[in-house]
Amino acid sequence: MALDKQTQALIEQMKQGGFKPANQIPVEVSREALTQMAIAMAAPKMGVFATEDRNIAGPGGELPIRIYRHAAKTNGGASPVAIFFHGGGMYLGDLETHDHVCRYLCNNAGLTVIAVDYRLAPENKFPAGLEDCYAALCWVSENADEIGVDKSRIALVGDSAGGTLVVSTCLLSRQKGGPGVAFQVVVYPALTMTDGTEFPSRAELGTGEYFISVDDFAFFRDLYLSDEGKEVRDPLVSPIYAENYHDLPPALVISAGYDPCVDENKFYAKRLAADGVQVTYTCFENTIHPFFLFDGVIDAGKEGQKLVADTLRDFFA
């Protein structure tokens, strides 16, 4: 197994450009850098039938969302819907960094996409971001008729930290007896906020050579949690420690072969299957953690987005 040529070229380009690990960059500088990088590395944005920015009531005040429509609302018609949680280590990312991904999924899966601009750490620590994601799920379910979606066909989709939030939101909704989730898509989520020593890939691939390091994970944890000793093994923080995954929705789990999270992603898929949950696991063996977002420079990103869109379209057919 070796890095594909595009991924290797990207890593070399970043090194030559003076790339610094996340844990060595101030938060505000990182936020601006991720926005610039996401736009620079993205494939051209697709046009969609319509977009609408709205604010809904969230537990911390107004919660921004963006609705992407693939077709006009019709009387009596209801589209399946994917609620999208962006990645970014729980402290980066927004509606703009993943706009191209949402547009692609909207058009190619043939469904409504609703992106959620959840509150970020360190200004808003756990459980603020998770509460926003759950609030968005509840809002979509409660307002399905008004927004023209089918509340029985709700998928949750997320990459990286957004993937973590997908799993945590599924667990929280199960715990609360909340809205049903029909399908979950998790793209290289970090499923534990511990040091992850039970998963060899954390240390083997977390050297910093492959975009993200074990020191970065510790940095994310410190930003996200208020009481590490109490919270770090909470299944809503580290979903890998949930007692079981019974009654969670069918899943598509996507990983990258050179991602420190690859072992826990594979483990999650195996545990889902063991608990009777229908799951498809796909590893893009020759690339790194952010490939799904960087579809303009890494073909695997295009392939990953196509896999998600095809899977959602077929599931909701």
- pLDDT for 272-314, tens place per residue? 999 999 999 999 999 999 999 999 999 999 999 999 999 999 9
Q: Degrees (nearest 5) of the Cα angle 177, 181, 179?
A: 35
- Among residues 132, 259, 263, 295, the one annotated as catalytic is 259
pLDDT of residue 74 exceeding 80: no
pLDDT of residue 115: 99
pLDDT of residue 75 exceeding 70: no
266-302 burial: b if 16+ Cβ within 10 Å, else e: bbbbebbeeeebebebbbbebbbbbbbbbbbbbbbbb
Domains defined for the chain, CATH in brackets: 5-315 (3.40.50.1820)
The mean pLDDT value of the chain amounts to: 96
- The percentage of residues in the chain with a pLDDT greater than 70, rounded to a whole number, is 99
- Among residues 30, 160, 173, 213, the one annotated as catalytic is 160
pLDDT of residue 119: 98
- pLDDT for 216-258, tens place per residue? 999 999 999 999 889 999 999 999 999 999 999 999 999 999 9
Average pLDDT over residues 143-158: 97
Q: Is 289 among the residues known to form the active site?
A: yes
263 or 21, which is more confident: 263
User: What 3 state SS string does the chain have?
Assistant: CCCCHHHHHHHHHHHHCCCCCHHHCCHHHHHHHHHHHHHHHCCCCCCCCEEEEEEEEECCEEEEEEEEECCCCCCCCCEEEEEEECCCCCCCCCCCCCHHHHHHHHHHHCCEEEEECCCCCCCCCCCHHHHHHHHHHHHHHHCHHHHCEEEEEEEEEEECHHHHHHHHHHHHHHHHCCCCCCEEEEECCCCCCCCCCCCHHHHHHCECCCCCEHHHHHHHHHHHCCCHHHHCCCCCCCHHHCCCCCCCCCEEEEEECCCCCHHHHHHHHHHHHHCCCCEEEEEECCCCHHHHCCCCCCHHHHHHHHHHHHHHHHHCC
pLDDT of residue 223: 97
Average pLDDT over residues 68-85: 89
- What dihedral angle (degrees, nearest 10) is formed by the CA atoms of 255, 1, 10, 280? -20
- pLDDT for 162-186, tens place per residue? 999 999 999 999 999 999 999 999 9
Output phi, psi for 27, to 5 deg. -55, -50
- pLDDT for 194-217, tens place per residue? 998 999 999 999 999 999 999 999
pLDDT of residue 76: 66
Average pLDDT over residues 30-56: 94
Q: Is 152 among the residues known to form the active site?
A: no
Average pLDDT over residues 64-83: 90
Q: Please give the C-alpha separations between residue 284 and each of 190, 247, 254, 299, 315, in angstroms, as whole numbers.
A: 16, 27, 8, 11, 21
Q: Which residues pair with 280 in a beta bridge?
A: 252
Average pLDDT over residues 121-148: 98
Does the N-terminal peptide bond of residue 260 adopt cis geometry, omega within 30 degrees of 0?
no
Q: Is 213 among the residues known to form the active site?
A: no
